[in-house]
Structure 1
């Protein structure tokens, strides 16, 4: 008993020497801690739930399941999907493939970076070193947010002499010039001069078939393809009949033709340019890039002669929109913005922005098909560009139209019903740029947009949606494209919610990890799409969503030194290591933004995963 009483004081002294350390947040900040649970410092800083003393913070034990508990990002539908088909993936999960890697990053580290982004993100106007083009990018754009992260990254992250705008593909760095005539401006151009630019009838049909299968389903500008096909066949028959250069129609002056016929030729050349571009990507034949640009010039020549600026028509607007899409895919989104504004003004002049009359003829109609087809195409292109540049949309929206309610009332939802609702939502989000900035957007507004995207994802997963169980290759492509764009927009909303200082500390951290999960799903959808369709290599909008997600996610991983992607970026690093070349058909005459963005991503992945990635200074 005596020996036992002697050992007790030594045990007490040992416990006093091993006094518990301060909580993790106080140790990181190097401030005094009162060793309570929660401590007084964490209570004063309004985050008592983040206070923890053990090896893994209590907060991160909660964050590992936040995707299930958070009302803004939890799964809202359990629609059965066939195990044989790739179900529509939603961002309501922690990490990717079950990865939970949140415990390696402290909340205050994330908040310090987010506060830095919120403070330093400003709109920019830069001049491209190679092309001399001036580009304006708003403060909510991904390019601007990435610019603020460069202070945390090594100096050689950006390949010289590229700017951040070039990395994100918002500069004009290729040779498409639709406003330059291929003919002598002092001579009168004949229709024979223009028609001689057409290839053989078989090649024209091949280009049209490519347009019909690859481009048109995801950007439907021509509402009546049957009428266009009949006109195409008539032109090709005339082309075959004109075997001799001295025929009367071959020498007919283009200025003497009716404007409607010239507008039809302009639309024909625009479709051939788009189809040739699709063949270029599918067949990996870079020589077709020049043919596509020749078709663009021919189409614009017809539009100029038809006097589209003074006498616009549905055909001239359609040709203008298809040309804008081709030029955008060629790496010239700035030119596309100019053409989009012109098309929107002309369409409004023709009354195309007004709603169609529905079969129900109800004044309170909530049917889905109430938007003019050409105006719908304008809104789609406007949604893509305004979100990328963070600019105010050029199209107008009806305040009384509730597209979410329309989806709820519909008995059957197709791809374009869900996709167009997403474009509408993006346009509404971008329209806030004229009233406020991302640092002052009220919390309720961001939460409402997240709620709407969540509802949109729920409708896409429901039994009445064609996206839930795709039964064909085209349906699978539609599902992947919708998933990619939905996750990218929702990830963007979560990222802005994390940046906003108006949110609570806990919500900002949760929104940040929700954004990284969304960006992971964007990458996964893109990698699946890459194997199935040339649209993944062709569409500037799809490439932009993938590239922005991958670069932002890789930058955060490098800065935080944590695995936020659950192995997705590591898989991407291996795929890029096996790639033969970074050059593409867009890289003539100067290195395109596509190459600059891929090289930047390579350098970021080399910093994060140095072993599987080649030397970033190579190539």
Structure 2
């Protein structure tokens, strides 16, 4: 007998069809139908037309996926052979039957992601689905750079009803303030009608106390706060005295107030609005949100009666700046930019943009006190908003703002000296967007900004600065706030340098890791500030810096499948679990960027932990 043969019958070789995919990159990555247009209809519906492109770069990716599916153990055989310079489409997402989306083992290289961001980052004009307002965001804004990363992430990364602008807090949901009157527009409005919105004297003093302790130290719009407090007490005493008189006489008296007193009442309502907002954060009473918005409307009504457009004054500018800060903290930065333009034009009309004479009488004086206080506040607010939206600043920078001589020669530095110089530097950086894109900025120009920020940090933390060794609670808070602003600006510079394709590869990678270090420092400082002061929850620019840093770092970790921040992002999970289900005053009457940003960060942390994202049926 012949021994049975041990050879297995030959298995037919399965032939693979040499089929080149025709769908665009984004549709192929998300496994959705594509109509092969340029841009395709799916990308247009998803508001990502700038990411729609066609090429044959994903043929090798699909071939590797096919070979992995054909292997007996089901494992991919090409993890170590992927190209480090392939397009940013190497991240493939698979869908399970339960609706969850999980990533496969393949992930794109860091350089491929940076190249993709440099190529596909574009400016955007998005229309808010609730208000219908159009928001323009520049190509180098954090929101635009994050938009380019969405092609690497699953479809459920951001809430379905939210946009990228909403995630980064760039939409305006409460558009009724301050330009809509609370009274019947056909009737004659008097100051007496407006003053009826004032609460009791005790409540007014409580709101003022919160403003003095929380709001004023970080935006000192009123130079002499003591004089304002004395005037406030006098006004409250006068109103209490008039309350005992017949209503007709008080109405007649209030209707013929001089313009200076009208502006004073406008400033009073603006301070009450800011103080009420501070109390809202401290006490957690969301009913105070409505009171704050009523005070804003009353202040603007007084400004209208005082004819603010024709007859500006320092008090008018102070009221506008305080209202702009309140509205910005309320989640309406676009309205704040409109009011900033009004304040800047009026300040220039009064000559506040010119430098004051100093005691040294030197023609080349670089003393710190030569800058007008109101002009300094306008410049700081302009720096925050222009960098957020990546727009050209309202104020043109001066050459003297690029010098460190004033800080080096000063015998003593406080928080506002260092902070003002930092915002001047940000104004100069943002002004480069007017004639050139930052992706093509020469290396020596970029290095000069890195050197300048490094010197600023050394001077601000030297022994002559109050930020060196804080000996009080307020000094500690100022140190944390300055650290957030400085490190966030430095991290933004490193991010732009990493994205710039004109730089060497080694420098780009080094700038990326420096960006990670600076953004981690922002998050650490914010977590400390949040535990110490309500300003961490109130100030819009501080929460924006924190959310932008955390969202970008979490997105990079989810895409690269690398732990870039250690345990830092995991420390945010408890914070998110405590706040994600709670509505804040910014979420009324409709969900705002507060919820969208927190929910997006929460989903990115799930992806970073390789936890599938599940979307409940019917969830918004």
Give the one of 75, 78, 83 matched to 1:29: 83
Q: Is the 8 A contact 1:328 1:336 kept in 2?
A: yes
Give the CA deviation at 1:616: 6.8
- Deviations for 1:63-120, whole angstroms, at most 9, x for unmatched residues? xxxxxxxxxxxxxxxxxxxxxxxxxxxxxxxxxxxxxxxxx999x8111000000000
CA distance in structure 1 between the aligned counterparts of 2:570 and 2:80, rounded to whole angstroms = 33
Q: Is the 8 A contact 1:127 1:134 kept in 2?
A: yes
Counterparts of 1:350-361 in structure 2 under 5 Å?
A: 350-361=350-361
Task: Return 5+ residue gaps in structure 1 as ranges.
Answer: 1-23, 32-103
Give the CA deviation at 1:609: 2.3
Q: Is the 8 A contact 2:393 2:427 kept in 1?
A: yes
Q: Which position in structure 1 is the counterpart of 2:541?
A: 541
SS at match of 2:587: coil
- Cα gap change, 1:154/1:523 in structure 2, threshold over 3 Å: closer, same or farther? same
CA distance in structure 1 between the aligned counterparts of 2:84 and 2:399, rounded to whole angstroms = 52
- Deviations for 1:111-170, whole angstroms, at most 9, x for unmatched residues? 100000000011110101111110000011000000000000001101011110111001
Give the CA deviation at 1:192: 1.7
Report the count of equivalent residues: 522
Q: Is the 8 A contact 2:84 2:112 kept in 1?
A: no
CA distance in structure 1 between the aligned counterparts of 2:212 and 2:170, rounded to whole angstroms = 27
Counterparts of 1:295-334 in structure 2 under 5 Å?
A: 295-334=295-334
Q: Which position in structure 2 is the counterpart of 1:559?
A: 559
Q: Which position in structure 1 is the counterpart of 2:604?
A: 604
Q: Which position in structure 1 is the counterpart of 2:50?
A: none
2:418 matched to 1:418? yes
Counterparts of 1:366-445 in structure 2 under 5 Å?
A: 366-445=366-445
CA distance in structure 2 between the aligned counterparts of 1:401 and 1:180, rounded to whole angstroms = 38
SS at match of 1:577: helix
CA distance in structure 2 between the aligned counterparts of 1:336 and 1:109, rounded to whole angstroms = 40
- Cα gap change, 1:249/1:147 in structure 2, threshold over 3 Å: closer, same or farther? farther
Q: Give the ranges of 4+ consecutive aligned residues of structure 1 lying more than 6 Å apart after TM superposition.
A: 613-616
Q: Is the 8 A contact 1:122 1:144 kept in 2?
A: yes
- Cα gap change, 1:278/1:427 in structure 2, threshold over 3 Å: closer, same or farther? same
TM-score, with structure 2 as normaliser: 0.81
CA distance in structure 2 between the aligned counterparts of 1:402 and 1:457, rounded to whole angstroms = 15
Counterparts of 1:374-523 in structure 2 under 5 Å?
A: 374-523=374-523
Give the CA deviation at 1:577: 2.7
CA distance in structure 2 between the aligned counterparts of 1:588 and 1:360, rounded to whole angstroms = 53
- Deviations for 1:382-405, whole angstroms, at most 9, x for unmatched residues? 000000000001012221344412
Q: Is the 8 A contact 1:191 1:252 kept in 2?
A: no
SS at match of 1:281: helix
Give the CA deviation at 1:302: 0.3
Give the CA deviation at 1:445: 1.1
- Cα gap change, 1:442/1:616 in structure 2, threshold over 3 Å: closer, same or farther? farther
Q: Which position in structure 2 is the counterpart of 1:186?
A: 186
CA distance in structure 1 between the aligned counterparts of 2:426 and 2:596, rounded to whole angstroms = 27
- Cα gap change, 1:30/1:371 in structure 2, threshold over 3 Å: closer, same or farther? closer
Q: Which position in structure 1 is the counterpart of 2:235?
A: 235
Q: Is the 8 A contact 1:606 1:616 kept in 2?
A: no
Q: Which position in structure 1 is the counterpart of 2:530?
A: 530
SS at match of 2:549: helix
SS at match of 1:157: coil
- Cα gap change, 1:137/1:552 in structure 2, threshold over 3 Å: closer, same or farther? same
Q: Is the 8 A contact 1:188 1:253 kept in 2?
A: no
Give the CA deviation at 1:361: 1.3
Q: Is the 8 A contact 1:189 1:254 kept in 2?
A: no
Give the CA deviation at 1:615: 6.3
- Aligned CA RMSD, in angstroms, stands at 2.2
Higher mean displacement: 331-340 or 253-262: 253-262
CA distance in structure 2 between the aligned counterparts of 1:554 and 1:397, rounded to whole angstroms = 34
Give the CA deviation at 1:252: 2.4
Give the CA deviation at 1:481: 0.3
Q: Is the 8 A contact 1:176 1:327 kept in 2?
A: no
Q: Is the 8 A contact 1:603 1:616 kept in 2?
A: no
Q: Is the 8 A contact 1:352 1:372 kept in 2?
A: yes
Q: Which position in structure 2 is the counterpart of 1:91?
A: none
Q: Which position in structure 2 is the counterpart of 1:576?
A: 576
CA distance in structure 2 between the aligned counterparts of 1:199 and 1:462, rounded to whole angstroms = 46
Q: Which position in structure 2 is the counterpart of 1:38?
A: none
- Deviations for 1:264-304, whole angstroms, at most 9, x for unmatched residues? 00000000000000000110010000000010010000000
Give the CA deviation at 1:597: 0.5
CA distance in structure 2 between the aligned counterparts of 1:234 and 1:370, rounded to whole angstroms = 32
TM-score, with structure 1 as normaliser: 0.81
CA distance in structure 2 between the aligned counterparts of 1:524 and 1:290, rounded to whole angstroms = 32
CA distance in structure 2 between the aligned counterparts of 1:280 and 1:190, rounded to whole angstroms = 29
SS at match of 1:591: coil
Give the CA deviation at 1:450: 0.9
CA distance in structure 2 between the aligned counterparts of 1:105 and 1:496, rounded to whole angstroms = 26
SS at match of 1:135: strand
CA distance in structure 2 between the aligned counterparts of 1:556 and 1:292, rounded to whole angstroms = 39
